[in-house]
């Protein structure tokens, strides 16, 4: 049965789920959500996800929301990308929680503030504050990757996919790979994994489509 992922290309959280599906070898198809024209607020979509957010995954009768839950489900179903032991699984989850709190939450807000809000509504104080928090998280990741290839275990896991979810997007959000050489190397290693695709190639919907 083909898994359906309700998503759009500009969503970093949807990209985490889509890339996990792709790299775990699952059969899946994207279902475009026209988020910027209000599709997430429709009654039909709210029946899928009361939160009005993407991603939403449908696998037969199973409907899941929130990228981390979807990633966990996919890794459990496929037996891939989740660690080889209970201890490794805990380390995977540790970095996924770090991402949710310190990385994606900040990167998503910052990227939205700097690129998708009308210019007259962009708050420079908010941008500076979020940028500072995000830079602190990147320093932690860069230091951790100084003597290792992957964040959680000795191979690629959903923790890497989660923490990298926003970092391939071209829109400016104060992240420069040159400032973090270990993150830069790590991102290249993820992108070299068979099946990897850029978010705008993996999912429908990009700023160019709305230009």
């981390």: which residue's tokens?
A: 68
Helix (H) and strand (E) counts in the chain: 10, 4
pLDDT in tens, 107-135: 999 999 999 999 999 999 999 999 999 99
**What are the two backbone dihedrals, phi and then psi, of residue 86, each rounded to the nearest 5 degrees?**
-65, -40
Element containing residue 7 per DSSP (H, E): strand 3-7
CATH numbers and ranges of domains, the chain: 3-81 (3.40.30.10), 86-191 (1.20.1050.10)
The DSSP line for 171-204 is S-SS--GGG-HHHHHHHHHHHTSTT---HHHHSS
pLDDT in tens, 129-158: 999 999 999 999 999 999 999 999 999 999
**Confidence category of residue 210, pLDDT binned at 50, 70, 90:** confident
Tokens for 64, please give them. 């899941």
């Amino acid at each position: 049965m083909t898994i359906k992922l309700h998503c759009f290309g500009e969503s970093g959280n949807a990209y985490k789920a889509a890339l996990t599906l792709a790299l775990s070898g699952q059969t899946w198809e994207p279902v475009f959500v026209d988020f910027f024209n209000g599709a997430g607020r429709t009654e039909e979509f709210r029946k899928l996800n009361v939160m009005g957010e993407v991603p939403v995954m449908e696998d037969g009768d199973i409907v899941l929301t929130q990228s981390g839950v979807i990633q966990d489900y996919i890794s459990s179903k496929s037996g891939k990308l989740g660690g080889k032991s209970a201890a490794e699984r805990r380390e995977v989850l540790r970095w996924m929680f770090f991402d949710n709190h310190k990385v994606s939450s900040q990167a998503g807000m910052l990227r939205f503030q700097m690129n998708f809000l009308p210019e007259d509504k962009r708050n420079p104080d908010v941008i500076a504050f979020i940028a500072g928090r995000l830079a602190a998280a990147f320093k932690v990741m860069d230091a951790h990757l100084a003597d290792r290839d992957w964040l959680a275990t000795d191979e690629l896991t959903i923790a890497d996919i989660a923490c990298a979810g926003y970092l391939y997007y071209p829109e400016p959000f104060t992240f420069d790979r040159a400032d973090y050489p270990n993150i830069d190397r790590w991102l290249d290693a993820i992108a070299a994994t068979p099946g990897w695709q850029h978010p705008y190639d993996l999912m429908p919907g990009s700023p160019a489509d709305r230009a």
